[in-house]
Amino acid sequence: MISGKNYIGSQQSAKGTKTYTTFNPEANKENNFTFFEATNEEINDAIELAANAFKEYNTISGSKKAAFLNAIADEILALDDTLIKTYCSETGLPEGRAKGERGRTVFQLRSFADLVADGSWVDATIDTAIPDREPMPKSDIRKMNIPLGPVVVFGASNFPLAYSTAGGDTAAALASGCPVIVKSHPMHAGTGELVASAIIKAAEKTNMPNGVFSNLNSSGIEVGQQLVAHQKVKAVGFTGSIKGGRALLDLAIKREEPIPVFAEMGSINPVVILPKALKNRGEAIAKTYAGSVNLGTGQFCTNPGLILGIKSDDLSNFTKELADTMVAMNPSCMLHPNIVKGYESNKSKLILQEGLQVVNEYKSAVKSNYASQVITTVSGKIFLENPTLHQEVFGPFSMVVQCKDSDELQQIISQLEGQLTGTVISDDNEISSYSKVIAALQNRVGRIIFNGVPTGVEVCPSMVHGGPYPASTDSRFTAVGVSSIKRWVRPFSYQDWPNDLLPDELKNENPLHISRNVNGEQTLEKI
Ligand code: NAP
């Protein structure tokens, strides 16, 4: 079923000679399939086809796009065990996780289907004319969101379904009316091809224009760079490393026509544990956090990599309990030998920093591609002085920082780079004595959590998965939830345009019966 070929629209294509395979980290061996890297010609063909498809797809009704998105969800489910087995063989992740992620992917597609079927997401805003206004008459002006054009999506290694081929970025872009070209992630190219085949089948079944979706294979940075540099590409979605996201942002800005890059990148997700909470339930918090740091072998962008507290015996006891609980857990498999290499080298680099102590680490030998978990600790002063300690270690690693007092805690938070999340663990009303700390945290993160863990990102309209740079390249947007559709559109105004030539969303009769803002009032009424 897996051919290793690219999808240039509905056509499978393998014109190149450069090939690669994926790797099964659990079995520590290469998988059997061979993938053909996309050639310059194939890249160009996919973009030209997408630009052409945009002319039609851009005008397709919300209900037809909803049918397409629901059909993608159905086709993904129809892949059944083949998809689950391929996912597991390319990631080392267990079947339960694969099924959970498939459920999330399908849920996201159906949520976007509901959103565009309803249609109100376009934010239609109408200011009717005032012909007798003095000293000048006022025109009739009507605004709505319209799609940008072909979008290139770079999937995440750590979410082969929910943030890859038909993941959040793709679902949002297709829902908005933008064709998508996926730069397939080389670590899960087979999973990617299966999902791509589901999207193509769905596009054919629902009569979408050819080129609305393409999937290009590549195991190096060149294909992605060419895609981002192409003048007919109008926006980019990316999930991965800061290095990769930043390189693509720089490339997009240097183009003759710069385009937006919505990259969701690294984060160490600071957790502040307040003194009373530590005293009253330090042991329970430590156990919960051992599970959160170790979840998915620490390969989540919301992994709590930094825990902050005020120096005390309670903090020391908590740190020891956290480290011992973590080390007592069985090590687990990482996604790929390269991710293990990155983990081991980043971990070693940090452990060598002056003043950082290892509280406990898993010392027995681990299987190939498994990660040994570590908890470290450092003083607030040393953490403040050494920016290397602020870097993400992608894996089952966390650092407890012992701050001198709440001023130092606030100073540390203020100096952190932008983060996806910040968490506060508090007992009784003690949080009210830390308003400056909380304000500093709010300034650095996209989502703040009370008495919980940052891992586990709910997919719902109120979710913000983003944050100040480098958590994301544009903190005004979220990468999770239906409002992520706003990344792929631009506002557009019609002035004094004839009613019958306006899109349905803006017509006087409100034929789609959507919620609109008319002369300052939100309403479903016609004009
Ligand atoms: P990555 O190395 O950033 O790669 C993501 C995608 O972007 C891949 O398809 C990659 O292509 C492409 N890419 C990377 N750099 C590029 C460049 N300069 N120009 C064009 N394309 C580029 O991320 P990853 O493979 O998912 O994982 C590697 C590391 O990223 C992890 O060890 C971890 O540190 C970090 N990561 C962080 C998060 C997070 O949410 N915080 C999530 C995932 C990964 P090729 O692979 O084909 O080169």
* Residue 141, pLDDT score: 98
Pocket test for ligand 1, best of 241, 249, 338, 478 (most atoms within 8 A of CB): 241
Rounded Cα gap, residues 143 and 158, in angstroms: 38
Res 1: pLDDT: 82
Whole-number Å distance, alpha carbon 265 to ligand 1 midpoint, is: 9
pLDDT band at 488 (very low <50, low <70, confident <90, very high): very high
Nearest to 466 by CA among 416, 420, 422, 423: 420
Q: Which residues have any ligand 1 atom within 6 Å of their CB?
A: 154, 156-158, 183, 185-186, 218-221, 224-225, 239-241, 244, 247-248, 265-267, 301, 339, 342, 394
Residue nearest to atom 11 of ligand 1 (CA): 221
Ligand 1 atom showing the smallest separation from residue 156 Cα: 26
Ligand 1: nearest atom to the Cα of 183: 9
- For 400-433, how does the pLDDT look when each residue is reduced to its tens digit (9 = 90+)? 999 999 999 999 999 999 999 999 999 989 999 9
Q: Which secondary-structure segment (H or E) carries 271?
A: strand 270-273
Q: How far is CA 55 from the centre of its chain?
A: 28
Q: What's the pLDDT score for residue 428?
A: 81
Q: What are phi and psi of 115, to 5 degrees?
A: -60, -50
CA 242 – ligand 1 centroid, Å: 8
Residues 178, 301, 333, 403: which is the catalytic one? 301
pTM (2 decimals)?
0.97
Q: At the fourth CATH level, which superfamily is domain 6-119+149-265+477-487?
A: Aldehyde Dehydrogenase; Chain A, domain 1 (3.40.605.10)
CA of 185 to the centre of ligand 1 (A): 8
Strands of 235-239's sheet in order across: 11-13, 6-8, 213-216, 180-183, 151-154, 235-239, 261-264
CATH of region 270-450, choose from 3.40.309.10, 3.40.190.10, 3.40.50.1360, 3.40.50.720 = 3.40.309.10
Among 90, 264, 417, 505, which one carries the catalytic annotation? 264
Mutation pick for ligand 1 pocket among 216, 219, 221 (CB with most ligand atoms within 8 Å):
221
Nearest residue CA, atom 20 of ligand 1?
Answer: 221
The token duo for 340 is 């293990």
Q: How far is the CA of 245 from the centre of ligand 1 (A)?
A: 8
Domain residue ranges of the chain, discontinuous segments joined by +: 6-119+149-265+477-487, 270-450
- Helix 40-57 crosses helix 221-229 at what angle (to 10 degrees)? 40
Task: Examine the pLDDT at 446 and tell me if it is beyond 90.
Answer: yes
3-state secondary structure of 401: strand
Residue 297 φ/ψ region, left for φ over 0, alpha for ψ in the -120 to 50 degree band, beta for the rest: left
256-279 residue pLDDT tens = 999 999 999 989 999 999 999 999
What counts of helices (H) and strands (E) characterise the chain? 14, 25
Q: How far, in Å, is the centroid of ligand 1 from the Cα of 241?
A: 5
Rounded to the nearest 10 degrees, how much is the dihedral formed by the CA atoms of 232, 237, 240, 246?
A: 60
- CA torsion through residues 477, 483, 484, 487, sign: negative
Residue nearest ligand 1's atom 34 by CA: 394
The H-assigned helical ranges of 445-504 are none
Taking the C-alpha atoms of residue 418 and residue 408, their distance in angstroms, rounded to an integer, is: 18
Query: What share of the chain in percent tops pLDDT 70?
Result: 100
Determine which residue's CA is closest to atom 21 belonging to ligand 1. Answer: 221
Q: What is the mean pLDDT of residues 86-114?
A: 98
Helix (H) or strand (E) holding 282: helix 275-294
Nearest ligand 1 atom, CA 219: 47
In the predicted structure, residue 207 carries a pLDDT above the cut 90: yes
**pLDDT value, residue 168:** 98
Q: Say how many Å lie between the CA of residue 160 and the centre of ligand 1.
A: 13
Q: Is the pLDDT of residue 233 over 90?
A: yes
pLDDT mean over 170-191: 98
What's the CA gap between 511 and 507, in Å, rounded?
A: 7
Angle separating helix axes 62-78 and 168-176, nearest 10 degrees: 150
Per-residue pLDDT of 43-61, as tens digits, reads 999 999 999 999 999 999 9
Query: What dihedral angle (degrees, nearest 10) is formed by the CA atoms of 335, 81, 112, 53?
Result: 90
Q: Which residues pair with 450 in a beta bridge?
A: 424
Summary mean pLDDT of the chain: 97
Write the residue with the smallest CA distance to atom 6 of ligand 1.
Answer: 154
Q: How far is the CA of 226 from the centre of ligand 1 (A)?
A: 16
Beta bridge pairs of residue 19: 36
Give CA–CA dist 180/163, Å, rounded. 14
Q: Computed over its alpha carbons, how large is the radius of gyration of the chain?
A: 25
pLDDT at site 331: 97
* 301 has catalytic annotation: yes
Residues 6+ apart with CB under 8 A from 371: 297, 298, 331, 332, 333, 334, 340, 343, 395, 396
Please tell me the chain's helix, strand, coil percentages from 3-state DSSP, rounded to the nearest 5. 45, 20, 35
Average pLDDT over residues 120-126: 98
Mean pLDDT in residue range 466-482: 98
Among protein residues, the one whose CA lies closest to atom 39 of ligand 1: 301
Give the closest residue (by CA) to ligand 1 atom 45: 220
Evaluate whether 149 touches 230 at the Cβ level (below 8 Å).
no
Within 10 A of 55 (CB to CB), how many other CB atoms are there? 12
Cα separation, 75 vs 203, in Å, equals: 10
- Cα 70 to middle of ligand 1, angstroms: 29
Q: Is 442 helix (H, G, I), strand (E, B) or coil?
A: helix
CB 320 within 8 A of CB 359: yes
Q: Is residue 333 annotated as part of the catalytic site, yes or no?
A: no
Q: If you take atom 28 of ligand 1, which residue's CA is the nearest one?
A: 241
